[in-house]
Amino acid sequence: MFSIALHIPDGFLSGAVAALAAIPAIAAVAFGLKVADRDLDEARVPLLGVLAAFIFAAQMLNFPIAGGTSGHFLGATLAAVLLGPWLACLVMAVVITTQAFVFADGGISALGANVLNMGVLGAVLAGFLVAAGSRALPKTRAAYLGTVGVVAWLAVMVGAAATSFELALSDTVPLGTVLGAMLGTHALIGIGESIITVAAVSAVLAARPDLIAIGGHFDQAPGPATARTAQEA
Amino acid sequence: MSRRLSIGVFTVLALAVAVGMAVAISPFASGSPDGLEKVAEKKAFLDDGKLHSVQNDSPVPDYAFPGVDNEKVATGMAGFVGTLGVFAVGYGIAFVLGRRRRARGDDRGPTAATA
């Protein structure tokens, strides 16, 4: 019935919490549409569809983690790296909305909270964090992929924390009971997220480095051979 | 630049990977409860969860294509339909907005749509 991590079903959140969570979610999606209207270049039109498809498909692939629990790829950081934070939020909203209405996965009343947790706190935050990391760290492929990996893990943890707070504010479960359990489980799921995100970003760096929207510009001369190949390709 | 994949080829390849994952791998994905579901089970609030009334008529409830007895085939078909459907929605939104932008003659060349 609820087959996907971080997808809150209806009944877990109070009406007030669901409504409050929907406000930033709607605002972020509206801003995403505005950014698309203003900035979306030709090359990113298919990319938006492909990313939505990839994230949907990858979210079906639950992998086992410890203790009879499974996790799956979230995709917020991958989307943010390829599209920028706001278009990524839009892609996450497309995926989450389709899952709720077509596949009965994730609630309808909880849609705002799910978009907030995975789109806003997932993708928007991840986009800004990768951008900040790329500015602060050395412009090397290794530092960039390291940043992407850490941010991918963090995005999952922030989403899990936000879910816990929403559940606690809804009086569904005390914060002290749920937060540790959610963070503990998602610390492991986040490692999977990290690995898949870094692999996917590496593949895009090799095939079409120009499609990376956030960071990904490396100093040419002394970098590793693979980075130079990716740049020249 | 000459060795760079065209956006068309890149799109088809990436879409093929996505469809392949959804069709061929998802039927064999872990059936264990996921993070939130497991926590809800352990902390005894799983039963609070319910389907919204509009979800009672979901076209493909719980990622099982209706009317297909073989569970793995049903999941694979759900993955196929869902992946292409989500692609169409995402592409559609981007295409419509891109057309509005072109209609305005607002072509400032490739921009990375950043913050």
Question: pLDDT, tens digit, for every residue of B9-34?
Answer: 989 999 999 999 999 999 999 989 99
- Of residues A41, A106, A100, A74, the one with CA closest to residue A190: A74
Greatest Cα pair distance, chain A, in angstroms, is 57
Chain A, 110-169: which have a CB under 8 Å from a chain B CB? 127-128, 131, 160, 163, 167
pLDDT at A67: 83
- Inform me whether the pLDDT recorded for B5 exceeds 90: no
Q: Do B98 and A42 touch (CB under 8 A)?
A: yes
* Cα within 13 Å of Cα(B50), Cβ side: 7
pLDDT in tens, B44-100: 999 999 999 889 888 998 899 999 999 999 999 999 999 999 999 999 999 898 877
Contacts for A1-4: CB closer than 8 Å, 24+ residues apart: A1/A104, A1/B49, A1/B51, A1/B62, A2/A105, A2/A106, A2/B34, A2/B36, A2/B37, A2/B40, A2/B49, A3/A62, A3/A105, A3/B34, A3/B37, A3/B62, A3/B63, A4/A59, A4/A62, A4/A72, A4/A99, A4/A105, A4/A106, A4/B34
pLDDT at B106: 62
pLDDT at B4: 77
What's the gap in Å between the CA of A231 and the closest CA on chain B?
Answer: 9
Q: Do A12 and B49 touch (CB under 8 A)?
A: yes
pLDDT at B57: 86
pLDDT at B3: 63
What is the value of ipTM here, to two decimals?
Answer: 0.89
What's the gap in Å between the CA of B104 and the closest CA on chain A?
Answer: 10
* pLDDT < 50: residue spans in chain A: 1-3, 222-233
Confidence tier at B108 by pLDDT (50, 70, 90): low
Strand partners, A64: A70
Q: Do B39 and A182 touch (CB under 8 A)?
A: yes
pLDDT at B62: 86
pLDDT at B97: 87
pLDDT at B2: 45
